[in-house]
Structure 1
Amino acid sequence: MIIEYGDLYLVELPLKLKGYKKFIGSWVIKDLNVIVDVGPASTVKSLKRALDSLGIKVEYVLLTHIHLDHAGGIGHFLRLYPKAKVVVHERGVRHLVNPEKLWKASKRVLGELALAYGKPLPIPEESITKPPGRIEVVETPGHASHHQSYLFGEYLFTGDSAGVYLEVEEEVYLRPATPPRFIKELYVESLEKMLSLGSREICFAHFGMLEDPKILERHKEQVELWVDVVRRNMGKDINSIIEELLEEDKLLKPYEKLEEDIKFREMQGIVNSIKGIMEYLGEGNEDR
């Protein structure tokens, strides 16, 4: 599926796994031959078909971070587009040039999901470059220390730094993307940095565009709520935390209206995000 948003396209990259539709997408900036994130290795061929249908000759790939769902396909992609240049945080470069450690860690943490994403291939170090002139890099650690977002005119490409978004019956569903190793201070600072940019159209990798910059402020409040709820329930069954969040978090409430298979997928994400907050609070941060 290809969705058109003014100067942009969003190419959906569904996986052959329960619930993994409307999950990850690659943003295409039409006039610049630039894409933001390539998705996992297993979806590169479908991305190529979409780009061919649009007549896009990719010159730059902007990677928000190196997790497999966003950048796992970059080595495969460069075999199809050998002249394309890659923009990524300096901390991510070595894991793209030699992805073996990333692959082993991903299999250990993600299990079946890592296999569905597919094994990354190495990229040549000389393909790494700076972004083209009209693109501004915004460092946004928190979800990952090497995470960066990108600003192009009114469009802010947030990767995972502003959570996971879906439109559900004209309502906004949003959940934090705070897996281990989550650091609240960095996550919140990243949101504040993006807020300081002013009015923007927010382009989520997961999944779609929201023309409401206030969502960043609401997401900041949401993260604070999640940390408070987890703190109050430390030591209790995780299901009690989930129940309280579904009751108290207005941005999470549309969960009940999601399609059943997407609910299955999102519950996995909710649990993983709670675990990231639990780990954060368990490291002597209970009073923060």
Structure 2
Amino acid sequence: MSILRFSDDLCLIDLPQKLEGFRKFISAWVYTGDEYTLVIDPGPKSTIPLLVTSLRDMGIRDVDYVLITHIHIDHAGGLGEFLRHFENAKVLVNERGKEHLINPEKLWRGSLKVLGKVAEHYGIIDPVHPERFVDAIDGVEVLYTPGHAVHHQSYIVGDYLFVGEAFGVTHEVWDDVYQRPATPPKFVHEIAMDSVKKLKSVGKKKACMGHFGMLENSLDVAEYAEKQLDLWTDAVFDAICCSSVEDFESVYGIVVHELLNKDPRFSNLEKLDADVRKREEYFIRNSIRGMYEYVKENRI
């Protein structure tokens, strides 16, 4: 069990999966303020027992609200199971995602199609009763940030900015950070960029990442995310237009080679442990595929 304490009112519970490299990747934020206790993104069903045990060990018997940044299975797949343990907890989620949590059949089928055995490991998505949802919470500011997914939103709670995957994915490496975009199909460059700019406009906050951990200066993460969205999309465009290749595998190879030389934070991929690097290579492929499909449809 790994509980990372960042301040008196905020900690992060690591939710490692029994999959190669899936450690310090999926997690749940826990905010314990004077007015309420919040859990942000409880994760998949597979690790709800770990999450519940961790909360109990922290002395938390009641959760007031669960904030969902987006409904992807690794962030919200275990919500239904989690709510069985905390019967008074209410849920705040984007309207576009709510219906899929009430009736998760389509979400589950889509997860199986995209993730296959990984989705099976995460566990089936249980439905959430409509009465568990709320439209707003005093003291929680909601920002619609659909760059990663149409149902993605971020939250401001005091000095904390819970960004889900709007800034991409980060991982500490020695005295530096690894960072990459999280841009699966159907990625739209303009929407992703607008989401980052919206988060940047709130000023300096502590960036609480969906994957993984906290970065003290949200403006720094946002500015780098902006650069990456442009750099990566341009790299895909150049690979298609200047290298006389169009099939995804060829484009992917060219783009990764280019980015490892031009993107300092992405080049920290080589500093990750071998199992974590293998996990990341799977998701990097998905991010580049999102950009590849966008470029083919909009820029060629």
Pairwise same-fold verdict (TM > 0.5): yes
Query: Aligned residues: percent identity?
Result: 45
Contact 2:177 2:265 in 1 (8 A): yes
Aligned pair 1:22/2:24, yes or no?
A: yes
Question: 2:184 matched to 1:179?
Answer: yes
After TM superposition, list the pairs within 5 Å mapping 1:155-174 onto structure 2. 155-174=160-179
User: Which position in structure 2 is the counterpart of 1:13?
Assistant: 15
Q: State the match for 1:53 in structure 2.
A: 57
Q: Tell me the equivalent position of 2:281.
A: 267
Matched residue SS, 1:4? strand
Alignment of 1:1-288 (within 5 A): 1-6=2-7, 7-31=9-33, 32-56=36-60, 57-212=62-217, 213-234=219-240, 235=246, 237=250, 238-286=252-300
Q: Which runs of 5+ in 2 are unaligned?
A: 241-245
Q: Distance in 2 between matches of 1:90 and 1:192?
A: 22
Shift of 1:89: 0.3
In the alignment, the residues of structure 2 paired with residue 114 and residue 142 of structure 1 have an alpha-carbon distance, to the nearest angstrom, of 22
CA RMSD of aligned residues (A): 1.0
Per-residue CA deviations over 1:183-242 (Å, capped at 9, x if unaligned) read 111110011001100011100010000012222011101110000001111226121211
Decide whether the 8 Å contact of 2:16 with 2:26 is kept in 1: yes
1:117 and 1:220 map into 2 onto residues whose CA distance is 31
In 2: Cα distance, 1:250 partner to 1:219 partner: 12
Structure 1: how far apart are the matches of 2:30 and 2:295? Answer: 38
For the 8 Å contact 1:160–1:177, the answer to whether it is kept is yes
* Aligned counterpart, 2:243: none
* 1:285 CA drift (Å): 3.0
1:245, distance to aligned residue in structure 2 (A): 1.1
Structure 1, unpaired ranges of 5+:
none
Please report how far the alpha carbon of residue 272 of structure 1 lies from its aligned counterpart in structure 2 after TM superposition: 0.5
- The structural deviation recorded for 1:131 is 3.4
SS in 1 for 2:23: coil
8 Å Cα contact 1:62-1:131 kept in structure 2: no
* Distance (Å, rounded) in 2 between the aligned partners of 1:262 and 1:16: 13
Structure 2: how far apart are the matches of 1:29 and 1:126?
A: 23
Moved over 2 A (4+): none
TM-score normalised according to structure 2 size:
0.93
Secondary structure class of the residue paired with 2:172? strand
Given that 2:237 and 2:299 are in contact with CA atoms closer than 8 Å, whether structure 1 keeps it comes out as: no
Separation of aligned partners in 1, 2:120 and 2:192: 28
**Mapped partners of 1:184, 1:200: distance in 2:** 24
Q: After TM superposition, give the deviation of residue 117 of structure 1 in Å.
A: 1.1
